């Protein structure tokens, strides 16, 4: 006879991220807090949640700046920012208070519409599910390019010629892959003006047990979705401007720098800027949004969106 198996038995644990149990349950240890959409009292930004795919629950949290409802500027189309959250591909959502507050600030400061992507998390939905979900969300935004999509905010206020992609940590990796997929397949009526990567994750030459667990078909450094700095096709990136944030004490610092160097050496014809914050750690701006360096990061993020959109 087979021994009795405790359904509460932990079969895999990654400290600070999650525990996976024998019965298939996943207990997340980080990023489970949520906050509702609504009107932000500080910025006046409105937000709401929209389901894109009821079968998979792929969705977006949309942010609309207060200027969109003012009579003097209601006819002016606004740039669109597609934002992809981090969390090691396995924790967090767009509904997390840190992301919600951050994007309220970016939305108001840059005067852009934001679509913050809710993709399925591994390990229940192994990679590349998160990549495919984010691409599906991007195509949903693109369905409004002619002004006849399912979402009134994007139809009335979104400018399909002024589109940006951004993401932090694992979300930065996904953002890069969305841009690369669009470069190969087309952006479905949208014009990509720029991309912002905040402390992006890319693979290194060391064994990564987490990636191997979350991505069952991962084949190591030959996987260009994870190992973007090694991708010979990175020169095909159809994005004219790029901004990369790294931090001195971040364990991902060197990987963000490698991506920066790979772009510069690849023959890619765009402009890339790298900004490093001394003394700071991974995604410090989300954990301590009121500190000087966090305010400076947001200021540079906003300036990039405003400068690029105004020059297009």
Collect all residues with Cβ–Cβ distance below 8 Å to 282 and sequence separation of at least 6.
Answer: 169, 199, 247, 249, 250, 251, 252
Burial class (CB in 10 A: 0-12, 13-18, 19+), 189: middle
- Report CA-CA distances (Å) from 269 to 29, 42, 111, 126, 244: 42, 40, 28, 34, 16
Q: Give buried/exposed letters for 82-108 (b at 16+ CB in 10 A, else e).
A: bbbbbbbbbbbbbbbebbbbbbbbbbb
Burial class (CB in 10 A: 0-12, 13-18, 19+), 205: exposed
Residues assigned a catalytic role: 169
- Report CA-CA distances (Å) from 297 to 36, 144, 170, 214, 219: 25, 30, 18, 30, 35
């Amino acid at each position: 006879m087979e021994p009795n198996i405790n359904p509460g038995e932990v079969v895999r644990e990654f400290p600070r991220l999650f525990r996976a149990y024998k019965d298939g349950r996943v207990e997340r240890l980080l990023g489970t807090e949520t906050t509702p959409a609504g009107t932000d009292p500080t910025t006046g930004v409105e937000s709401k949640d929209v389901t894109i795919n009821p079968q998979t629950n792929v969705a977006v949290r949309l942010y609309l700046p207060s200027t969109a409802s003012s009579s003097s500027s209601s006819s002016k189309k606004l740039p669109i920012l597609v934002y992809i959250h981090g969390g090691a591909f396995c924790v967090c959502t767009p509904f997390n208070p840190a992301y919600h507050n951050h994007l309220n600030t970016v939305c108001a400061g840059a005067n852009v519409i934001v679509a913050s992507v809710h993709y399925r998390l591994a390990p229940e939905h192994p990679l590349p599910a998160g990549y495919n979900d984010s691409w599906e969300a991007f195509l949903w935004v693109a369905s409004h390019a002619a002004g006849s999509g399912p979402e009134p905010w994007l139809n009335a206020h979104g400018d399909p010629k002024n589109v940006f992609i951004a993401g932090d940590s694992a979300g930065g990796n996904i953002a890069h892959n969305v841009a690369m997929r669009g470069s190969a397949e087309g952006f479905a009526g949208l014009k990509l003006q720029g991309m912002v990567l905040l402390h992006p994750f890319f693979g290194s030459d060391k064994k990564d047990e987490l990636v191997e667990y979350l991505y069952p078909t991962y084949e190591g450094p030959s996987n260009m979705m994870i190992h973007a700095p090694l991708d010979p096709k990175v020169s095909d990136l159809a994005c004219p401007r790029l901004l990369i944030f790294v931090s001195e004490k971040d364990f991902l610092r060197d990987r963000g720098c490698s991506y920066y160097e790979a772009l510069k050496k690849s023959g890619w014809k765009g402009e890339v800027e790298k900004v490093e914050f001394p003394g700071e750690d991974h995604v410090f701006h989300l954990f301590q949004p009121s500190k000087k360096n966090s305010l400076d990061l947001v200021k540079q993020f906003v300036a990039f969106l405003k400068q690029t959109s105004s020059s297009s």
